[in-house]
Amino acid sequence: MSASELGDLLRPLAPQVLGAVVRRYGHFDLAEDATQEALLAASTQWPRDGLPRSPKAWLISVASRRLTDMLRSEQARRRREDAVAEWAVTDRGAVQADERRPGEADDTLILLFMCCHPSLSTASQVALTLRAVGGLSAAEIARALLGSEQTVTRRITRAKQSIKDSGIPFALPAPDDLAGRLQAVLRVLYLIFNEGYAATAGTALMRVDLADEAIRLARTLHAGLPDDSEVSGLLALMLLVHARHQARTSADGSLVPMAEQDRSRWDPGLIAEGTALLTAVLPRGPTGPYQLQAAIAAVHDEAASVEATDWPQIAALYNVLLRLDGNPVVALNHAVAVSMVAGPRAGLELVDRLETDPRINADRRFHAVRAHLLEMSGDDAAALEAYRAAAQAATNLQQQRYLNEQIGRLAADGR
């Protein structure tokens, strides 16, 4: 078994094992450490000895034994050993008893809600979710989020301590609390996906593995809450946007804008799956922001070319989204859609309204959109200055590279 095959096997098992151990013994922080040790043991023993009959049961058994050792040192031997004694272990570590008790199918979902508890900061929610539910190491999370391993480790440690101190029960939130907690979960998965789709910094435009992980976690959430329209909307949005990722970069990794992408490289399977999810959910109830964003993505994906795109529909959808969410990025995207319907000057009027908004007016995206619309309207000198401002604000190398190419092109045309 190759290292990549072993990783593919262990990653989805990690939250299931952690959930099973936390459910039985509590102690989220110690259970997470014990689970990591079990995963490490599997990574060294399974390639040598072969897979156990039940990999999940093997991991639960090893993690349970390690947790028991930890709890002994905390003067909890009798109470914890009584629980562990219920397990009969074979010579290869597979648990003889039924490896899943009623409700354990939801353990990964419970972990997701626990990691996204509103008492934690957003940064801690993201880091803890990637560690406990995604199975990433602190080093992998640091690379994914472009932080230091020490910072990530401290953040995760503080988050686990906060969960321990809060006494949060290992259970799904009560029905009255579910809606509010679900919003935090959706936001964390959305942030993880966005960082994978368009990295804020670094040399690569995308982090496909991070986007893939966000989709995997969103699938888990959807499996647990299949009737929630916004959960379906978020998963559909991820699938419809991720369908384009192969066409978003050229062979050397440089950015390819949507208008220039080879749409034959878009993934028809992901588009079909995302569209089916969206079609099923839209008639069911109130339409939320994730569903609206997914609908916009679907209109883009269904178009054979940028010219064939139904821009009036996209502009109308953004207009509805603006009423639900006053996010300036939504307003900026709305301006682009309006420019495709009514011309660049109409779009510029909307962009200019954002010039005093501190949430967006120093952002690369604000300057890049303004530059593009100025160039479309024929004001190359102003466009050049806006492109320079965008390049200066960009923190991703490929985004800087693309913007500098536009600066060079316009500067050459103006000679």
83-131 pLDDT tens trace: 544 443 333 343 333 344 434 446 888 888 988 888 888 889 988 988 8
Q: How far is CA 126 from the centre of its chain?
A: 9
The predicted model scores a pTM of: 0.81
As annotated, the residues of the chain forming the CATH 1.10.10 domain(s) are 105-168+176-197
Q: How many H helices and E strands in the chain?
A: 19, 0
DSSP state of 255: B
In 3-state terms the chain splits into helix, strand, coil percentages (rounded to 5) of 70, 0, 25
- Residue 409 to residue 383: CA distance in whole angstroms: 11
> What pLDDT score was predicted for residue 331?
96
For residue 4, how far is the Cα from the chain centroid? Answer: 21
Which pLDDT does position 256 carry in this prediction? 97
pLDDT block averages, 10 residues each, the chain of length 415: 79 88 85 89 90 92 90 57 44 38 60 87 89 81 78 90 82 82 91 90 90 92 92 97 97 96 97 96 85 97 96 97 91 97 97 94 96 96 97 95 96 76
CA gap 361, 263 in Å, rounded: 32
Q: Given this model, what pLDDT does residue 146 score? A: 65
Residue 106 is predicted with a pLDDT of 61
Query: Which DSSP string corresponds to 280-322?
Result: HHGGGS---HHHHHHHHHHHHHH-SSSTTS-HHHHHHHHHHHH
pLDDT reported for residue 138 = 84
Q: What is the pLDDT of residue 107?
A: 81
Confidence (pLDDT) at 81? 46
3-state SS, residue 172: coil
CATH match for 105-168+176-197 among 1.20.58, 1.10.10, 2.20.25, 1.10.287: 1.10.10
Q: What is the pLDDT of residue 75?
A: 53
**In angstroms, rounded to a whole number, what is the distance separating the alpha carbons of residues 98 and 77?**
24
